[in-house]
Chains A and B, each alone.
Chain A
Amino acid sequence: MTQIPFKGTPEQELELKAFIEKEKNEPGCLMPVLQEAQRIYGYLPIEVQQMVAGGLGVTLAEVYGVATFYSQFTLSPKGKHKISVCLGTACYVKGSDKILAELEKRLGISAGGITPDGNFSIDTCRCVGACGLAPVVVIDEDVYGKLTPDMVDDMLSHYMD
Chain B
Amino acid sequence: MVNLKINGIAVSVPEGSTILDAAKVANVKIPTLCFLKDVQKCGSCRMCLVEATGARGLVAACVYPVSEGMEVQTNTPKVRKSRKTTLELILSTHNKKCLSCPRSTNCELQRLALEYNCDEDRFGSPEEFPAKDLSSVSIVRDNSKCINCTRCVAACDLQTVGAIGPIRRGFAKHIGSPFDIGLGETNCVNCGQCIVACPVGALSEKSDVEKVWDAISDPDKKVVFYTAPSVRVQLGESFGNPVGTNVEGKMVTAIKALGSNVQCFNMDVTADLTILEEATELLTRVTTGGTIPMFTSCCPGWIKFLEHNYPEYLNNLSTCKSPQQMFGSILKTYYCDQNNINPDDLFVVSVIPCTAKKYEVERPEMNKDTDVALTTRELAKMISEAGIDFNNIPDGEYDNPFEIATGAGAIFGATGGVMEAALRTAAVKLGGEGEPLVFSEVRGTEGVKEAEYTVGGVTVSVAVASGLGNARKVMELIKSGEKSYTFVEVMACPGGCINGGGQPHVADEVRNSIDVRAVRANALYKYDESLPLRQSHKSPVVDMLYKEFFGEPNSHKAHEILHTHYTARNKFN
Contact = CB atoms under 8 A, between A and B. Distances in A.
Contacts of B153: 61
A51 to B, nearest CB: 11
Contacts of A61: 153, 156, 162-165, 177-178
Contacts of B163: 59, 61
B168 A69 contact: yes
A65 B167 contact: yes
A1 B179 CA distance: 9
B169 A59 contact: no
Interface string A58-85: 1111111100110000000000000000
Interface string B7-35: 00000000000000000000000000000
Interface string A74-112: 000000000000000000000000000000000000000
A119 interface: no
A40 interface: no
A121 interface: no
B569 to A, nearest CB: 14
A63 B168 contact: no
A38 interface: no
B456 interface: no
A62 B177 CA distance: 10
- What class of interface size applies to chain A in its complex with B? 10 to 19
B411 to A, nearest CB: 33
Question: Which of A49, A60, A61, A69 is packed against the most chain B CB atoms within 10 Å?
Answer: A61
Contact of B165 (A1, A50, A59): A59
Contacts of A125: none
Contacts of B572: 50, 53, 60
A68 to B, nearest CB: 5
A64 B157 contact: no
Contacts of A64: 165, 167, 178-179
Interface in B133-163: 153, 156-157, 161-163
Interface residues of B, number: 17
A116 interface: no
Contacts of B161: 59
A5 to B, nearest CB: 15
B178 A46 contact: yes
Question: Which of B163, B169, B572 is packed against the most chain A CB atoms within 10 Å?
Answer: B572
Question: Which of B156, B161, B168 is packed against the most chain A CB atoms within 10 Å?
Answer: B168
B81 interface: no
B190 to A, nearest CB: 16
Nearest to B161: A59
A62 B164 CA distance: 8
Given A59-B162, A61-B165, A69-B169, A49 B178 contact: yes
B78 interface: no
A59 B188 CA distance: 12
Contact of A68 (B164, B168, B177, B571): B168
A54 B571 contact: yes
B417 to A, nearest CB: 30
A68 B174 CA distance: 11
B166 interface: yes
Contacts of A60: 162, 178, 572
Contacts of A53: 572
A53 B156 CA distance: 16
Contacts of B571: 50, 54
Interface in A133-157: none
Nearest to A69: B169
Nearest to A58: B162
Contacts of A54: 571
A40 to B, nearest CB: 20
B179 A59 contact: no
Interface in A13-67: 46, 49-50, 53-54, 58-65
14 contacts: A46-B178, A49-B178, A50-B572, A59-B162, A60-B572, A61-B153, A61-B177, A61-B178, A63-B178, A64-B179, A65-B165, A68-B169, A69-B166, A69-B169
10 A-B pairs closest in CB distance: A59-B162, A61-B165, A64-B178, A65-B165, A60-B178, A68-B168, A61-B162, A60-B572, A65-B166, A69-B169
Interface of A: 1, 46, 49-50, 53-54, 58-65, 68-69
